[in-house]
Every structure is written in structure tokens, then in C-alpha cells.
Structure 1
């Protein structure tokens, strides 16, 4: 069943997801049906809208979203379409960070770094340092950051557990993470902030790739 918002806030939130999805698709960061975006409903931090599974992100409409419990990822209305397969990762971010928006895309440079640095069976970190653009992430110390790279387990809930554990242990870490061979996830207090952080991290990954320097990877 397609999403039918019952409130003006629900309609606005669905429209934000639709608009952002198309914008990221046009940049080549959400090709085909890949990627997912979620946003908590205004005035109700316990619920969120997330893009439905298997939807073309270039033509996503306001009806192609699913209302879920923000902290568990379970659909909160009966008979809805299936939410994104990675909903549990969004829920893990919401539980630990208190963010209001989460974006996951397959932007090319971040995906390349995730492919080069990622391990099959352990969480690792990629050191990003010296670049001026680090200041765009709002870090307490913008001289460097260690960007976590998680194994791309077939069981998405296992990825979500890894993410929750890492974020709980490092609340001062960057507002983003990589999935090995997969892509990048960012979050923020608003969809705009999550998108800005995504742009900064993708650009930083581009600089790492273009610099042709060896990645500084360590066990997390």
C-alpha cells in the first residue's frame, strides 16, 4: 500500500524525501533503486519516513515512502509497502545519536574508499587529515577524523548492531560511516545538514583517491 499521509507534516516530510532523492539521483549518487533516505516526522521523534524498497530514486514520489518506528525500524502502519532493506541501520543511528535525518548513497569516491579500505570481517577506520574541507563536518578538532568502515554483512541487522556499538563507543566520531564495497551513510539534525555532511565526506574521499596516497587504515 502506498503511503497516504494524514497530516500536513507527513506530506511535507514525504515531499522532502522525494525532492532529495531526485537531487541525489541526478548527481549519480543513487543510481537505479540504490540508496535510501529517512527523516523523522516533525513533532514526533518516535516515527520516521523512509524510502520504500526497490523504488527508482530518480522518479520517487511522495507515495513511495514508508512510516516506521524510528528506534526499531519496524513499520508503524499496517499494510504499507516494504521499507528499505537497510532500515535497521537508520534506526541504529537514530537510537544512538539522536539525529533527525539519515542518508545512504552509493556515491563513487566514497564507495571506492570503502572498497579499498574495507575488511571482510572487522570494523576498520580510514584516517582523513589536513584537508581544509574537514571543517565542514563540525568536528571538535578539524585537523583529522577517523572514518569507520563496516563489513558489509549479508545480515543487515548485524551491520546495524556493529554501527550502534561503534557510535555508542565514539560519540565524538564523524557524522558518517562507510560500508565495505557498498557506499556511505551520513546523518544530521536536519535533512539539509545530513546532505551537507554527505557532500563534504564524498569530496574528502575524492581527494583521497585523486591524491593517490596510500590509505591510512587501522583496526577500529
Structure 2
């Protein structure tokens, strides 16, 4: 089912918003080429979400480049010529395990650099973040510090998604963001604007970690 065939003005508006946010992320250098993906729960439905199509240039994305999927499973509601993002299963894992209403995955440079330093090839780790004023932007119960998970960049994306669902399903105080080793950062929120704001806070924190040469402190999950 094409996103434009979903009835209701709100669906059209969400398609436009997803395309606009994708172009913004591209212009900032956070979604170079066809990288990255964005999704949001579809208003007026219990179990559906819109996600950016696979293989599309994020700087030229339009409202027509969205795919309707089941929010719990990632299955395409009705096949079309578009393919849902290859990382759809990570988005749906977050929809199942958290209260996320919108999810944004980007390859912003500083967060990706930190993901390269903090990640392991064969096991998930936790990256300790503390004393940063911008942690207040994440809506944490205790903004003094948090541990952000860093998942291995396994070739099998559903394997990453399974670990994401397991961690966030069992960790009540986990931050609304994660890293994938050598790959990038994902953040989420009650809507696209909040997810973007959280990304901005974390990218700035990662910039300080990188520029100042601050030590990266991790532990195994």
C-alpha cells in the first residue's frame, strides 16, 4: 500500500513531514547519499507506521517515497514497487519496546566516530555519558548521567533488532538513543521534532568527546 493511499489528511501531512525531515538531515550532512532512515507511527491507526523507502537519495526524498508497514513486525502492509528501509526491523523493535512515536537513524559524523571508538564487533556495550548539560535534552529521569547502548553492526539486521528489543524491553532507565558500531546513531521521541532534538543533543555531546579527546568509557551489557 502506498502511503498516499492511506485515507486521511494526517497521513498526507506525515508523508510530507518525513520527506522534509529527510531533506533537513541530508543538508546537515547527517544522511549522505541514500544512508539513514526515518519512520513515524501513522495517526489514526493502532499498528501501522510510515518509513522511508530503501535506496532513495535522502536529499531528494518526496512524500511519495514512504512505505506503510506494520509497526510491530515491519512487514509491508501491501507490496508496491517501493521497498521499506533495510533497517525497518530496528524501528519496529523500538516501537514494540518503548513509547516511541517517531524514530530517526542518521550517520552524523561525531556520533559515528564515537560509535567506531565505543563499539565491539561481537558484543553489545554500554557507553557512559555524564556531566554533559545537554543530557537534559534527552528527558532522562536523572540527567546527571546515562549509559547508551552500542550494538555490533551485524550483517543480519534482524539480529541487531532482536538485541535492541531485548535491551529496551528490560531496561527502564535506558536513554532514547542507541549507537551501532562503525555505523551511526538512532534516536526517538513522541514526534519527529523531539527525535531530531535528541539527535542534536547527542551529536553535540559526541562532538565534545571527539574534539576534546575525552576518554570513552564502556562496559559490556
User: Normalising to structure 2: TM-score of the pair?
Assistant: 0.97
Superposition deviation, residue 3 in structure 1:
4.1
1:4 aligns with 2:8: no
1:58 aligned residue: 59
SS of 1:44's equivalent?
Answer: coil
Pairwise CA distance, 1:7? 2.4
Aligned residue in 2 for 1:215 = 216
- Map 1:2-151 to 2 at 5 A: 3-5=3-5, 6-151=7-152
**1:80 CA displacement:** 4.6
**Bigger CA drift: 75-84 or 131-140?**
75-84
Classify 1:59/1:2 alpha carbon distance in 2 versus 1 (closer, same or farther; 3 Å): farther
Instruction: Indicate conservation of the 8 Å contact 1:75/1:83, yes or no.
Output: yes
The residue matched to 1:57 in structure 2 has which SS? coil
**How many corresponding residue pairs?**
220
Contact 2:38/2:52 (<8 A) preserved: yes
| C-alpha separation in 1, matches of 2:11 and 2:46 | 13
For 1:3 and 1:91, the matched residues in 2 are separated by: 17
Q: Is the 8 A contact 1:3 1:80 kept in 2?
A: no
Deviation at 1:67, TM superposition (A): 0.3
The secondary structure found in structure 2 opposite 1:99 is: coil
Q: Distance in 2 between matches of 1:68 and 1:85?
A: 12
Distance 1:4 1:10, change over 3 A: same
**Which residue does 1:201 correspond to in 2?**
202
Secondary structure of 1:185's counterpart equals: strand
Aligned CA RMSD, in angstroms, stands at 1.2
Moved over 4 A (4+): none
Give 1:121 shift.
0.7
Q: Which runs of 5+ in 2 are unaligned?
A: none
In 1, the alpha carbon distance for the partners of 2:91 and 2:31 equals 17
Cα deviation code 1:74-103 (max 9, x no counterpart): 001232511000000000000010211000
Gaps in structure 1 of 5+ consecutive residues: none
Q: 1:17 to 1:197 in 2, by over 3 A?
A: same
